[in-house]
Structure 1
């Protein structure tokens, strides 16, 4: 198979921690092992080199501070530099990641102008936001410029179809079996406790506030629960205050933002994984929990529904009442926890990054061929 020079582009990349950051880097790393020349183009951060090599992948950071008063958009000079990098980089395919990334969408528009084949990977759902009509309109206008879309779940595929008639390929994210694990000790008072872990950015969209809201009723029957909240975000301080005011500090532990290696280390010590997000585009944290043999309770009708089969390898709740009931069932039934963990682990090979790399490279080949064929 012919090997291409590829640019993967997004604002969301290391040292920032999140699902897009992990999946884009792991795809780049895997493509590189297959002989592709891969560059990641992303934003700069203070103290981070503008050029580096990570796991065989060249990382190029455009210069430019955020526009005053916000953090999402960079100064215009950054987008001019991005255009120059694409114009002079001899890339055969450009793959922007994230419709909510200004660099990603800038790369999409630049690639169209430069006539470089471009595939956009959509990692998100518009969700129930007051701005959903505007966001769908913006998506329709932007995606006119792509040659194809990769959707990371069935839910994202459905969402993408509302914005474009371009070819859409459903390719799931994955989990890397070779990831390093750093075991971080939990607080000293964990002896005899049953650990319920949540990995998510502390935002309303992720539903983390629902874990805090459901905890008191669960603790009335089960005093030995420890809720480990892994991640950081704007709700963290409020949630910690709520827990303290309710007198539940001994049953909660907030880790703040930690590296992926430490996330896996925390999950190794968990008995149950709980994620009450109803707008989850895919759920890499679900795969991480499954890979560490931790049974999952999540919400139905989201990207997680591709991964979890309700009652077979985890629970999918249709509402928070059902979510709480499923948690209680797993708290009280160690055998059910073990059964879900076994089933989940047996299916984890479906999310191997080598398979994902092969699927993605076939999309690249198809788009490049169509671009060449139609312009002959």
Structure 2
């Protein structure tokens, strides 16, 4: 079975859990028998791990080799033309020359480089919607040039690409919902994003959700039939035997860490309020907020307002070995997410022998037994959990030992086997 898979990021060029999950699942699939994966990203940098799979960067695909047709799918992302062909141009002068020629009003002109390739940033910048559109353009070319059995698109950014590939080839489409706009926005939904998500869910032959929490959101908020959705939990990549330098704290104090995007979805403000409660009871502890995001300045201001700046550290975004080095210095990890479809970081912390506190509002809470669970809004319960793990060594040791053993059994190959079952059932249903 050959899978054409669309994602938005791939390690080492990631900004969060999406790229990590895509890598883990892809690697798990390649370890199974009779599965070949072509993984497509908007921009390939050349340093990605392509072991066992083929990685294609949309930025490396020339679009002048095919006439690409589009239909109603593109209307969902602000394209007005129906059945419009793409005409690539390089310079402004060439654009106006083409524009003055005889083309149907449906023709779309797309700027490329001299090799007729579209430039992608591969990021989440101001031109994100334009890049999503361009990614869908190239996806149809890629689909026409490659043979495969099934299409798999990860998260809303890649749904239009998956739909374009399905439209071009008639192959079945699986979409993988790692998060919804309701998770990211806290209820202040962007109608453009919601439209793309809902269209993807309606067009897809099957949907994979990363938790039952996410599955229920898809059913309730997007009006999708329950039988169309399968829950497949994420896993964690084994740390391996690589010897890392031992990192010393530099202080003889306990360390409590928050690691993730500093955005409303992740509940950073609740972490700070709980930290303040802990500091009223004990002084030999420091708190770390590792990550970046739109709420970072506000969180720094709140820490200053509470007068606990001498006990608080903001590291900025961490990835790769820096994450595991942070865990080596951490005594307790906290994920107080308001709405977390899954949450891979607690698994990485447990894998490193760190006891964790997670919110009941996270998908990972559905499968973890050896983690302390609290409601994100209950800062007193969160502070109590922190205090207990920091001051009762036997309690902390229990969660360290049992947690590591539990998470070591959460392997990507098991998640991949479940995904393969979804592929097989989808192919079986469309072929009957």
- Give TM-score, length-normalised by structure 1: 0.86
1:132 Cα offset (Å): 7.4
The count of residues paired between Structure 1 and Structure 2 equals: 361
1:261 Cα offset (Å): 2.5
State the match for 1:118 in structure 2.
173
Which deviates more, 254-263 or 85-94?
254-263
1:90 Cα offset (Å): 0.8
Distance 1:235 1:136, change over 3 A: closer
Residue 52 of structure 1 contacts residue 60 of structure 1 at CA under 8 Å; is this kept in 2?
A: no
How far apart, in 2, do the equivalents of 1:238 and 1:187 lie?
26
Residue 207 of structure 1 contacts residue 278 of structure 1 at CA under 8 Å; is this kept in 2?
A: yes
Residue 181 of structure 1 contacts residue 264 of structure 1 at CA under 8 Å; is this kept in 2?
A: no
1:34 Cα offset (Å): 2.7
Distance 1:94 1:107, change over 3 A: same
State the match for 1:343 in structure 2.
402
Match of 1:24 among 22, 25, 33: 22
Distance 1:184 1:28, change over 3 A: same
State the match for 2:43 in structure 1.
44
Which deviates more, 223-232 or 108-117?
108-117
How far apart, in 2, do the equivalents of 1:257 and 1:86 lie?
35
Structure 2 residue 273 is the aligned partner of structure 1 residue 185: no
Match of 1:297 among 357, 382, 401: 357
Match of 1:170 among 223, 231, 237: 231
Residue 28 of structure 2 contacts residue 414 of structure 2 at CA under 8 Å; is this kept in 1?
A: no
State the match for 1:60 in structure 2.
56
Q: Decide which structure has the larger Cα Rg and report it.
A: 2
Residue 290 of structure 1 contacts residue 296 of structure 1 at CA under 8 Å; is this kept in 2?
A: yes
- Give TM-score, length-normalised by structure 2: 0.76
Residue 181 of structure 1 contacts residue 261 of structure 1 at CA under 8 Å; is this kept in 2?
A: no
Helix, strand or coil at the partner of 2:155: coil
How far apart, in 1, do the equivalents of 2:256 and 2:426 lie?
44
1:263 Cα offset (Å): 0.8
State the match for 1:214 in structure 2.
274
How far apart, in 2, do the equivalents of 1:68 and 1:252 lie?
29
Structure 2 residue 215 is the aligned partner of structure 1 residue 157: yes
Structure 2 residue 419 is the aligned partner of structure 1 residue 360: yes
Q: Aligned ranges for residues 226-265 of structure 1 at < 5 Å?
A: 226-244=286-304, 246-265=306-325
Structure 2 residue 140 is the aligned partner of structure 1 residue 141: no
How far apart, in 2, do the equivalents of 1:186 and 1:80 lie?
50
State the match for 1:107 in structure 2.
162
State the match for 2:144 in structure 1.
87
What CA deviation, in whole Å up to 9, does each residue of 1:193-245 have, x standing for no partner?
11111111111211113222332221122111111222222233443354356
Q: Which runs of 5+ in 1 are unaligned?
A: none
What CA deviation, in whole Å up to 9, does each residue of 1:102-125 have, x standing for no partner?
x33332343145211211111114
1:145 Cα offset (Å): 0.8
Distance 1:181 1:196, change over 3 A: farther
How far apart, in 2, do the equivalents of 1:12 and 1:82 lie?
15
- CA RMSD, aligned part only? 2.7
Structure 2 residue 5 is the aligned partner of structure 1 residue 11: no
